[in-house]
Chain A
């Protein structure tokens, strides 16, 4: 029986995000949201372990309450119970503050053998929350996992680094951050989706965790955002045309050489 917790972020679906080209500001107000990609891999891995060894899989998310719809997906994939930690005071939290909120939530939810996080979230892509949460909980952390196996009270994890792959062993409890390579998240069946509606979703406010505003939100954050702007794109956009591939290629080669981009 393994008890597993998956930290799931409801992220902005960055592939559908629109930019106001005049102001270079993002149109975030009604941008679609979804479970952050790698967090789905984390849910899949947790459910996979549960199916093999028996146990329970919980998910936790710090998010506005609208996360309920998104999180049904994790429940449909096989998680047993979801916790949403939601309060206006959490708005504008940085990773220091969010990891604090998450850690307080985890402590209240219970003890776990494994806590899974994604390698990074698709919208902030900071890869910070996993390691920070582990530090706050005082458990070992193994990042960038692409294979996880359990034996007795230990996990063996293969992690992918730039120049090598490392096999790391640790005693549970342990926090593991997973990469996209670890598995292929399942698509829940219709039955599984219907079943998900029967599963429990617990919603906690800051006060339920005894969290006060000085440790979260803007006041509790160590990093402040001054500005968020779409990058300037200034490209020539010269279309090279021709009757044949060779003609196109020759024109392109000539242009690149004339402009000094390719030197002889």
Chain B
């Protein structure tokens, strides 16, 4: 068997791809190899050049009208021959829902292992890749190593830093044209965009979290006010999105993973799946009226009290000292 070489990065989300390039560069240097970014799409040459600016040594492009929109089957039909032919040793794939399915199917097709949702990737003294991820609903972190190559891992948004863009970076863009794109067996008949927060919650330095302690959707206003004073954003627990259908996104194991400087959990009990998404926050403040709430085990500052009293008071106190939002 010929040797596998090189680190690859792919995500259909360009912001996430930048982060993968950043991390991929670091791993590639430890593995003494190069980082290649993969671009699939149509009319994507500009995007490919941009990736060199973010640090890719090389960009492999498959430009085809059939790849204009993301479809896991067409994209797979490009990635399978690419992986077989070029044999990377490590392939980082962005851990969006699309990306996770893509990675799982790529791994299945090539009879490979895959470690999804890695929160840490490290090369040990023996040159092995150690992939770490959350298991048991957030109760534990598992460290895994691969026995097959390419080693496929998926990486969620916001885990690693986006590198700086430099105009002077040099790199090679390679266009691959001899790939047969397959016609998919599933047909996308409609796409309805859902409204997204303007800035991604992963990027917020301060996040105010709301849980079932909120009685009405309108009450989230008090959290928004606090977030606005701190220049942050509001995030919620899954039941507010799923059971109550107030929102479409949530923070936690099955939602967004965040690591703000400050997280203020309001009316959140601290069930393990939510905690899994906030664990890396620098400082955690928890406001809960139940002195036994598990969230307090995770908190740097504990406030036992009613969020309907504490949160507006905190906004007022901060306004006074920070001198913002005079009204």
Contacts and interface: CB of A to CB of B under 8 A. Distances in A.
Contacts of B301: 236, 238, 240, 252, 255-256
A134 to B, nearest CB: 8
A32 B209 CA distance: 30
Contacts of B196: 162-163
Interface string A124-164: 11111011101110001111100000000000100001111
A22 interface: no
Contacts of B273: 14
B272 A14 contact: yes
B317 interface: yes
A233 interface: yes
Nearest to B322: A264
Contacts of A254: 321
A121 to B, nearest CB: 10
Nearest to A24: B140
Given A161-B98, A235-B300, A261-B261, A224 B139 contact: no
A256 B297 contact: no
A245 B309 contact: yes
A123 interface: yes
A95 B111 CA distance: 10
B108 interface: yes
B158 to A, nearest CB: 13
Interface stretch (A2-10, A55-63, A66-74, A165-173): A165-173
B314 interface: yes
Contacts of B309: 245
Nearest to A155: B186
Contacts of A26: 136, 139-140
B185 A231 contact: no
A39 B296 CA distance: 31
B176 interface: no
A229 interface: yes
Contacts of B321: 253-254, 257, 264
A220 to B, nearest CB: 10
B279 interface: yes
Nearest to A25: B140
A168 B141 contact: no
Interface string A210-240: 0000000000011111111111010111111
Contacts of A257: 321
Interface stretch (B27-35, B53-61, B82-90, B187-195): B187-195
Given A167-B189, A228-B140, A231-B140, A223 B98 contact: no
A100 to B, nearest CB: 9
B62 interface: no
Interface in B176-211: 185-194, 196, 206
A135 B109 CA distance: 7
B104 to A, nearest CB: 4
Nearest to A259: B283
Nearest to A135: B108
A245 B322 contact: no
A126 B116 contact: yes
Interface stretch (B17-25, B40-48, B143-151, B165-173): B143-151
Given A131-B104, A246-B316, A168 B322 contact: no
20 contacts: A17-B139, A123-B137, A126-B104, A126-B117, A162-B196, A163-B194, A164-B193, A223-B115, A224-B144, A225-B144, A228-B143, A230-B140, A236-B301, A237-B297, A237-B300, A238-B301, A239-B303, A248-B305, A252-B301, A254-B321
Interface of B: 73, 96-98, 100-101, 104-105, 107-109, 111-117, 130, 134-148, 185-194, 196, 206, 230, 242, 249, 253-254, 261-262, 271-273, 279, 282-285, 296-306, 309-310, 313-314, 316-318, 321-322
- Please provide the 9 A-B residue pairs with the shortest distance between their CB atoms, ordered closest to farther: A222-B113, A14-B137, A249-B313, A135-B108, A223-B113, A245-B309, A236-B300, A131-B104, A167-B190
Given A14-B272, A166-B192, 12 more contacts: A19-B140, A119-B254, A123-B135, A131-B101, A166-B188, A167-B188, A168-B187, A222-B112, A245-B310, A249-B313, A256-B262, A262-B262
